Chain A
């Protein structure tokens, strides 16, 4: 019989830090809160802030990644991306970029030029999704998931929409292909909307309240910028929007493999990190102009 998935904790955003000069992020995990979220290794949340107009492009210069995927989810502002595999694009509010670094890629991320000149509100999430050992050295790939093409499930009675980035919600399949089972949705809810979700008990599961305020499982209140972390107990989640709200829901089957991490590399063994550093230094990740 389905049971409610128990809330483990309502977590506040940890103190922010700058990534380059373009992203002011709260790291919910692994540094900020010591919570088990495998297959998600890292979540940086740029809470909504206002950037002043500038002619200089703020962001992060060329850097490598190996062994995982970066998923960038935009709510406000615009980010331009370029990588050494020749992919480039701009992520606008509602868009998602799913980059599989796998065997190695160089990329850079800057505020998009027009947005930089005008300035304005900026709000994003960047997730690192781990890859199983067998896929860590697979060929890099890139999935641009613009909002207009995103899988959507309209809630009854005009209560809002569930945008299914990955996984499946009420029979609607998500837009992104993933290496391991992952559920990733943006729930855009009208005040008073009630939604139920279900996800296997053993999955690591959390939600971030991007806008508004919600009540989870009838009793647990979470407000904007807070994370709801779930226990491995029960399968069903009931959400009620106390006001117009946006909620990012993430849930994934744990990969349960050893982790060795250094900077932008996420592997299984320390010697694979040494190899990644050497390969990066000697040009095996390719080249990307600053």
Chain B
């Protein structure tokens, strides 16, 4: 239950097994059935989810009822709603479980709490934050300027196995293209590469 998050920390900080175990001993896991909504607009959450097993989706629904997927979070990803977790303002997004999912609940204060034990944890947290900003910058740029095929090729690099785990329309929603357009991209790639 804690092993994956301990491995995650050990990969990023030079710490011992004992330190990783002590640092994470207070964390609790929680399981959600496929389809469970973990966060809805209006909710306040002061926690992050680290995915042990399964798949979460971070999305909004517009006035016409259309879903827009901002992020998928498979195993070893961390997901949080900053609006509520950092700014204490009601969320405007949803998080739901696309598969049966087990998460580790990482409270916001976790990073401050274990500072004494793991002096470099705050640096890591800042690095993760920068990484997340970098990811968003790239994502905005792709949405503004890239072709459907470029977006798809970038997607399969980032999330190689999600094409086997989520329906086409969700991938299309993430890419900001129609499912028909995604089909066309895949058909064109098959024309180029199928022998």
Contacts and interface: CB of A to CB of B under 8 A. Distances in A.
Interface of A: 61, 63-64, 262-264, 274, 277-278, 280-287, 289-290
Contacts of A264: 164
Contact of B163 (A262, A274, A281, A286): A281
Given A282-B156, A283-B191, A290 B163 contact: no
A65 to B, nearest CB: 11
B192 interface: yes
B160 interface: yes
Contacts of B191: 283, 287
A107 to B, nearest CB: 14
B193 interface: yes
A282 B161 contact: no
A284 B188 CA distance: 11
B contact face: mostly helix, strand, loop, or mixed:
helix
A282 B164 contact: no
Contact of B156 (A281, A285, A290): A281
Contact of B194 (A263, A285, A289): A285
Contacts of A278: 156, 160
B33 interface: no
B85 interface: no
Contacts of A277: 160-161, 163-164
A283 B191 CA distance: 8
Given A290-B168, A290-B183, A282 B189 contact: yes
Give me the 7 closest cross-chain CB pairs, A-B, nearest first: A283-B189, A283-B190, A287-B190, A281-B156, A283-B193, A286-B194, A263-B164
A266 to B, nearest CB: 13
What is the interface residue range for chain B against chain A?
10 to 19
Which of A262, A274, A283, A290 neighbours the largest number of chain B CB atoms within 10 Å of its CB? A283
Given A263-B161, A277-B160, A284 B193 contact: yes
A156 B165 CA distance: 51
Given A277-B161, A281-B156, A286 B168 contact: no
B130 interface: no
A234 B167 CA distance: 48
B138 interface: no
A280 B163 CA distance: 9
B52 to A, nearest CB: 18
A277 B157 CA distance: 11
A63 to B, nearest CB: 8
Nearest to B159: A281
B186 A262 contact: no
A287 B190 CA distance: 6
A285 B191 CA distance: 10
Nearest to B153: A282
B187 interface: yes
A290 B168 CA distance: 10
Contacts of B194: 283-287
A280 B164 contact: yes
Nearest to A279: B193
Which of A63, A287, A290 neighbours the largest number of chain B CB atoms within 10 Å of its CB? A287
Interface in B146-195: 156, 160-161, 163-165, 167-168, 183, 186-195
22 contacts: A61-B167, A64-B164, A263-B161, A274-B160, A277-B160, A277-B164, A280-B163, A280-B164, A282-B156, A282-B193, A283-B186, A283-B187, A283-B190, A283-B191, A283-B192, A283-B193, A284-B194, A287-B187, A287-B191, A287-B194, A289-B183, A290-B183
Contacts of A285: 190, 194
A262 B156 contact: no
B19 to A, nearest CB: 30
Nearest to A106: B190
